[in-house]
Amino acid sequence: MNPGKVKLCASLCMWLGIVTWIGNVKLHLWSVFVQQSPERDIAFSLANEQVNISKRHASGLRDGKTFNIRSPVILDNVIEHRVFWSAWLEGLSTRVFGVEHERKWREQVRDARVVVLEAGCGRPTNRLATFADGTRACVRYGIDADQVLGETLSYYLAELLGISNLPPLALSKLNLSSEQWASVRGHIEALEWSPNAIVSLTEFIPNVTGVFIPLHLRKQQGGGLQLSAETMSNMTVTYLVELMQWSDLIIFDYLTANFDRIVSHIFSLQWDARVMERTTNNLLKTINGHLLFIDNEAGLVHGYRVLDLWERYHRLLLSSSCIFRKSTVRRISEMKRSGNSAKLLYELYRAREPLARELGSLSEEHALTLQKRIDVVYKHIKHCTEIM
Ligand SMILES: *[C@@H]1O[C@H](CO)[C@@H](O)[C@H](O)[C@H]1NC(C)=O
Ligand SMILES: *[C@@H]1O[C@H](CO)[C@@H](O)[C@H](O)[C@H]1NC(C)=O
Ligand SMILES: *[C@@H]1O[C@H](CO)[C@@H](O)[C@H](O)[C@H]1NC(C)=O
Ligand SMILES: *[C@@H]1O[C@H](CO)[C@@H](O)[C@H](O)[C@H]1NC(C)=O
């Protein structure tokens, strides 16, 4: 048996064992308030109102200095319509990976010759590849094809949502006679990777660090990510820009049902009080303060399969944040209106990825699950607009 398989089973079996006894163990971290709002058509106020920020504030904030002005005017500069990050704050955070950069990257690596494969990129089933031109990529080999599919569809779902925190991704077939893989054939054989398996290549980002769950998401009482003028008195712009990315991450992990990042971290808190002193799985930060949502192979496919075990925790996490990026809310609204987000997802993925047909897509059942989750997120946002 493949050692990877044993490992997957071990962790899954462990979860299965645990979930029966944690049923009535209370989670201390997040306040529980998942309420369904009445069915009513929403008109989120998405007007692109510009906040009038004086030069003094703007320059004081831009260099990451402490946010020391306690006036509610500042809160208004950061939050609009109570639940949206302001246009001003959004303006301070650029796309993590530009659209053009991603396109070029995909084109460049799709047939690029791999000259070195070595350990790296986290998990034991990942490898760090160096191409002939010296650029590097992480190679993810799925123990089963669903993992590569989950990773890939998660990437394109993020793209649909306008979330740019996932490094560029391209698929490749491990054809050992192709020019791309021939030089590292021996290494691949030694790894016992199946010939012709489809692997994902993602851009390797150097000089990244681990990430802790932000203090404002850890609060024992109260509503998690809901800022007031008071809680904001201490914050730097850098921190706010990070929180903004967290608000996207929470929605993204809910939609993909990815338990293997924040949710498993919270879950561990039950028997490990010091878990918050450790960095979160599958989340990194670049030297520019951008969060990278990596290793998304538990998303969508596997995550949906084990939903019964995790949904409660996914909901807790989702309900802990009542602040959103307007652009994300707009995309969620569009996906809800479409009634078939899986179709939008497949269209994008097929247009970008020549191996899409071969790797496959979401099953009909999982496509419905995705749409249901879009609806849940939409209702949650609406609920926040009502209670805040
Ligand atoms: C923005 O601020 C400037 C300078 O304080 C002021 O003259 C201008 O009227 C303000 N604009 C709006 C739309 O409030
Ligand atoms: C593998 O690559 C070789 C050389 O490019 C090509 O002739 C062959 O058709 C490929 N095999 C598959 C299964 O794609
Ligand atoms: C990244 O770290 C390496 C050393 O680990 C250093 O040489 C390099 O300059 C760093 N790159 C950036 C962009 O900071
Ligand atoms: C502000 O910062 C101090 C010291 O870092 C900390 O003890 C305090 O809890 C912070 N206050 C808020 C409202 O975050």
Question: What is the average pLDDT across 198-225?
Answer: 79
Position 127 pLDDT exceeds 60: yes
**Confidence label for 80 from pLDDT (cuts 50, 70 and 90):** confident
Choice among 262-271, 335-344, 347-356 with the minimum mean pLDDT: 262-271
User: Is 288 a pocket residue for ligand 1 (Cβ < 6 Å)?
Assistant: no
Report how far residue 149's alpha carbon sits from residue 155's, in angstroms, rounded to the nearest whole number.
10
Q: How many structural domains compose the chain?
A: 2
Q: What pLDDT sits at residue 346?
A: 97
Are 231 and 317 in the same domain?
yes
pLDDT score of 78: 85
- Ligand 3 atom at minimum distance from 207 CA: 1
pTM value is 0.79
State the Cα angle at 265 between 262 and 269, rounded to 5°: 140
CA of 197, nearest ligand number: 2
**Greater model confidence, 55 or 294:** 294
On whether both 298 and 249 belong to a single domain, the answer is yes
More confident of the two residues 225 and 248: 248
Instruction: Supply the pLDDT for residue 233.
Output: 64
For residue 27, is pLDDT > 80?
Answer: no
> pLDDT at position 275, please?
81
Q: Which residues of 63-81 are buried (b: 16+ CB within 10 A; e: fewer)?
A: eeeebebeeeebbbbbbbe
Q: Quick one: 214 and 159 in the same domain?
A: no
Whether residue 197 is found in the same domain as residue 113: yes
Asked whether 50 lines ligand 1 (CB < 6 A), one says no
In the reported structure, the alpha carbon of residue 12 is separated from the centroid of ligand 3 by a whole-number distance in angstroms of: 37
The confidence band for 352, taking pLDDT boundaries of 50, 70 and 90, is very high
Task: Give whole-number Cα distances, 243 to 235, 324, 369, in Å.
Answer: 10, 10, 27
Looking at the fold, whether 76 and 177 belong to one and the same domain comes out as: no
Q: Tokens for 187, please give them.
A: 């290494």
Query: Does some domain include residue 111?
Result: yes
Mean pLDDT of the chain: 79
Same domain, 191 and 47: no
Q: Are 377 and 255 a contacting pair, CB within 8 Å?
A: yes
Q: Is the same domain home to 252 and 161?
A: no
Q: Strands 84-85 and 114-119, how do they pair? A: unpaired
Whether 232 has a pLDDT exceeding 90, the answer reads no
Residue 44 counted as domain residue: yes
* Residues 196, 259 within the same domain: no
How much is the pLDDT for 225?
Answer: 59
Residue 383 lies in a domain: yes
Residue 179 covered by a domain: yes
Same domain flag for 86 and 226 = yes
Residue 354 lies in a domain: no
Does ligand 3 lie within 6 Å of residue 206's CB atom?
yes
pLDDT of residue 320: 84
Position 175 in a domain? yes
Closest ligand 4 atom to residue 233 Cα is: 13
Last residue of a domain, one of 173, 203, 233: 203
Question: For the segment 103-120, what is each residue's pLDDT rounded down to a tens digit?
Answer: 999 999 998 999 999 998
Mean pLDDT, rounded, for 220-239 = 62
Mean pLDDT throughout 295-313?
A: 93
- pLDDT at position 8 over 90: no
pLDDT band of residue 24 (cuts 50, 70, 90) is very low
CA pair distance 133, 345, nearest whole angstrom? 32
Query: Average of pLDDT values for 141-155?
Result: 92
Q: Is the pLDDT of residue 33 over 90?
A: no
Tell me the residue type at 337: R
CB of 234 closer than 6 angstroms to any ligand 4 atom: yes
Any domain includes 294: yes
Domain span at residue 279 reads: 8-95+209-339+372-387
Lowest mean pLDDT among 128-132, 189-193, 194-198, 223-227: 223-227
Final residue before a domain boundary, out of 168, 203, 238:
203
- Mean pLDDT computed over 282-291: 94
- Which residue's CA is the closest to the ligand 4 atom numbered 3? 234
- Using the predicted structure, report yes or no on whether residue 66 has a pLDDT greater than 60: no
Task: Please give the pLDDT value at position 218.
Answer: 66
Ligand 2 shell residues, CB under 6 Å: 175, 177-178, 196
Dihedral of alpha carbons 343, 345, 346, 350, sign: positive
Atom 8, ligand 3: which residue's CA is nearest? 207
What pLDDT, on a 0 to 100 scale, did the predictor assign at position 63? 39
Shared domain check, 118 and 84: no
Q: What is the number of the ligand closest to the CA of 214?
A: 4
pLDDT value, residue 240 = 86
Q: Domain boundary at 185, 203, 221, which? A: 203
Both tokens assigned to 279: 């960095």
19 or 194: which leads in pLDDT: 194
Residues 316 and 227 in one domain: yes
Q: 103 with 195, same domain?
A: yes
Higher pLDDT, 135 or 34: 135
Q: How far is CA 100 from each of CA 22, 103, 110, 168, 326, rounded to the nearest angstrom?
A: 46, 5, 16, 11, 23
In a domain, 353, yes or no: no
